[in-house]
Amino acid sequence: MPYDSSHEPETIELDQTFLETVVYLDRTYQSYAINNLTYLVPIDEEEVERLHIMHNVLFRIFDGRLIFAPIHRPRRILDCGYGTASWAMEVAQLHPRCEVIGIDINPTMGPEEMPANLYLQVDDLNRRLSFDSHHFDLVNSWLIAQGIHVNRWTQYVRDLLRVIRPGGWCQMVEIYFNVQSDNGSLTPDHALYQWSAKYLESMNGLKDLRAATRLPNLMRDAGFVDVESRMISLPTCAWPSNARDKEIGAANRDNVQRMLYSFAIFPFTERLGMTSQDAHHLIDQACAEADNLTFKAYFPLYVCIGRKPRSRRWGF
């Protein structure tokens, strides 16, 4: 695949295919992602802002830790679907002797200036990873469920295992897009509930929006060991009573209000055939309910890590 890396002695020209965009209902999408039904989320300034907000939410949730796998002095790290490259940048700055490589189908959301040890490349995670086997100390894969084809998951996680060195780690983070509330106040009549149901339906046969819940099994089945997983509630607004979670909820409110629109508008209209007016109406109501403290609504966030065994004969 063509890639763009200003650090390479022979820079390969970035393929125009990945730079072409299309405007749909006032939002800008990558043409390649739309034409191939790879990623139905906008890639404009608004989305860049949302990703920065989301990154700050995760940063708070993980108490400022970017790497939670037990790794010291990593030499090579891969970030799959780097987005704005916030994670990759911070990791590269934290570990200046480590080569950090990010891959994404969309090269336009990354920073203009980068540390010398960060290399951003264009590639599609739905294809076999082009890296050598046993190469990385750590592979990071955060929030790319909407970009992985539904039948690709088993092979995707196997590919991650392949490129990790024996003893190296993989860390995955995904949201389960089925909104929850534990106090019984959110019912199927509510727009927020319907947003979830319709969003999952709109991706049926295309993406696995339940992949978050399957991460531990996917990792174990691929051959990872010491797999650990945790579900963390991601409040849709500042409803939690304890100060830390309230702050996370307040920060995440901004993300959720944008996400309910940016994730759904294309799938609702193009995949479910809703009119733009109906889609806007449902999303507006869902936003109001997400912002309503009494529902105590949250999206489950799944975090999963696993290690590649040291002593095994690998067939790759």
Ligand X SMILES: C[S@@+](CC[C@H](N)C(=O)[O-])C[C@H]1O[C@@H](n2cnc3c(N)ncnc32)[C@H](O)[C@@H]1O
Concatenated DSSP letters of 255-315: HHHHHHHHHHHHIIIIIS---HHHHHHHHHHHHHHHT-GGG-EEEEEEEEEEE--SS----
38 lies in the binding site for ligand X (CB under 6 A): yes
| Amino acid residing at 166 | P
Give the nearer residue to ligand X in terms of CB position, either 239 or 266.
266
74 lies in the binding site for ligand X (CB under 6 A): no
Please identify which residue in the block is written with the tokens 């009573």: 241
- Give the shortest CB-123-to-ligand X separation in angstroms: 6
- Give the shortest CB-119-to-ligand X separation in angstroms: 15
261 lies in the binding site for ligand X (CB under 6 A): no
Using CB under 6 A, pick the residue from 42, 74, 81, 168 that binds ligand X. 81
Using CB under 6 A, pick the residue from 29, 55, 57, 100 that binds ligand X. 55
Helix (H) or strand (E) holding 45: helix 45-61
What sections of 125-242 are H helices per DSSP? 153-163, 191-202, 211-222
Per-residue contact track with ligand X, 124 to 163, x per CB under 6 A? Answer: xxx---------------xxx--x----------------
How many residues in the chain?
A: 316
Compute the distance between CA of residue 5 and CA of residue 247 in angstroms, rounded to an integer: 38
- Give the shortest CB-60-to-ligand X separation in angstroms: 14
Compute the distance between CA of residue 3 and CA of residue 142 in angstroms, rounded to an integer: 21
Give the nearer residue to ligand X in terms of CB position, either 109 or 203.
109
39 lies in the binding site for ligand X (CB under 6 A): yes
Instruction: Select the span of 77-85, 191-199, 250-258, 305-313 touching ligand X (CB under 6 A).
Output: 77-85
Q: Which residues pair with 235 in a beta bridge?
A: 298
Residues 6+ apart with CB under 8 A from 135: 76, 78, 163, 164, 165
Give the nearer residue to ligand X in terms of CB position, either 263 or 298.
263
Per-residue contact track with ligand X, 95 to 124, x per CB under 6 A? Answer: ---------xxx--x--------------x
- Chain residues that interact with ligand X, rule: CB under 6 A: 38-39, 51, 54-55, 81-83, 87, 104-106, 109, 124-126, 142-144, 147
